[in-house]
Structure 1
């Protein structure tokens, strides 16, 4: 026999069983209608009220709540036992308790119980077992309605929260795909355009080199297609050594001298390395497309437990505004605990991206290729 419900939801089971026996109890009450409340009958009424508190879990609540509800239950049982018509006031009280705030629940319950006692004539000796049983059934039914009301309210809140979460997830995925497509296509299409223009110029002077540039155009297009597919499926990852090699080819194709580090940092996790690859790609794309620079310098530096990526050119300088690509990079770095800074140099522009390094980051680094 289960004495206590293991979960709060099992309160419904006990209430359903009790309410199923309601007609039987009601019929027995008719047999004893008009019988005064003897000592044993009062004990049955008190035991019924105590059982309600026991199976509803009130015993586990703070003691003052238990005392408060015990007093209210006793007042209600006593008042209804004075005259059966007082039962209607309990219905009103239970309805208001379900829909009103807690402060009003307490106040309204006290007021209604007092009105019941006064309005039904306390001076009349009309108490009987039938009315007391009816009061218990009303309290049980009201408690079941309250639990059902609270359950439905929580369910509606949960459904709204799930809908909001699904909406935010879809929006985040759209933003991720938009950022990744911008990063992939922006850099690759710029490289394809530059190499195509270079191949056109070399067609008559150096056909062999022009053919080499066109083969690189085809390779860039195939690589972009693969990266777009990876972006849509969400499994794209970068490699800093390969990204430095691509940066060198893109800058040299634009006739920009490039100074690259011999090694790349080691110890970064996959997300951090992927973000730094995207930042480097966006920075190089901006140098190629907008800076009109003759020289570009890329280097790494460890500073205060973080890695610093710096891309500096001697071109026109920074206009003072973040474009869509740089804004996306700043958001990505922020999610990894990093930051993005742009500074005007004399001449040119300096981009600095910082990202946290692992506490166990070793000092050995992988040569760029």
Structure 2
């Protein structure tokens, strides 16, 4: 069972100013506002020290077009966030989580929705790799776009094809910013923050880890990774309630889908809840007023992200979204179903109503849509 339970009467985080996931990607700019007046370091030093720590790459294939920077960031904006699990650095990357953040014109609210990783979609042709296009699970798009020859892969180039695939699915013509999040790097961020407090909404057993956080033993017959459930032995467990989780517990919990009633849909919800919990804690007083902890968090954030602000720096984005709080974040669930043919699982499909939701994203009318369709609100 996870660590010490937090009392239900706790008010921690309810009134603290906090960034959303996009600001977590732009955490450098967000904390700049807090620390620069605190006498720790000058704002110029923060910009130079931490903005340079985040790796920036061309994630949208715009470099050849000479993308230019506008005078400021104006809404509405759409941000594409992709989580990868780089356990095998020699293999083609797969997007383990795909999240779109829509921020309306007034920049006062943020809506997050997840794209199921097993969603069967049309992936467009991609000249850079010679991919001719076709229908496949969406998490394969990054793989199809990443090859650079000689068995090597460029995750940034793969992001470009994934972004084009998500655009084709949702109708979003372009993304204003994007980030690739390394799950191993996020573990370091949570470690640097001293863990994260979050609500666990259902009992979950870990497919991967023991109660002490060590990897579970593997069945001998599954050495070649050809078993659906290759692990045996004791499992880490996460019970319903509100807990302060260590980094390995939080990351393990949000990775689980086996044994859950709605499989990947439950996992999507848990990942969104984790995002909101991290956002609430990233700028909490026990982080921003502790120079040692703040420095560790910022350094870990730099190691965890590959960022493309489409001409704007990560600091620009942090400052543009400085007014957003975790309470301004709305989690959205897309209705979907499994595709089964001849008793074989082929992937996921969205219900037709998802098209109406995507239209509201493009029209910047999500608020009205959600009032009329409350079933799209994600359960917290």
TM-score normalised over the length of structure 2: 0.20
The structure that is strand-richer by fraction is 2
Which one has a bigger Cα radius of gyration? 1
TM-score normalised over the length of structure 1: 0.20
The structure that is helix-richer by fraction is 1
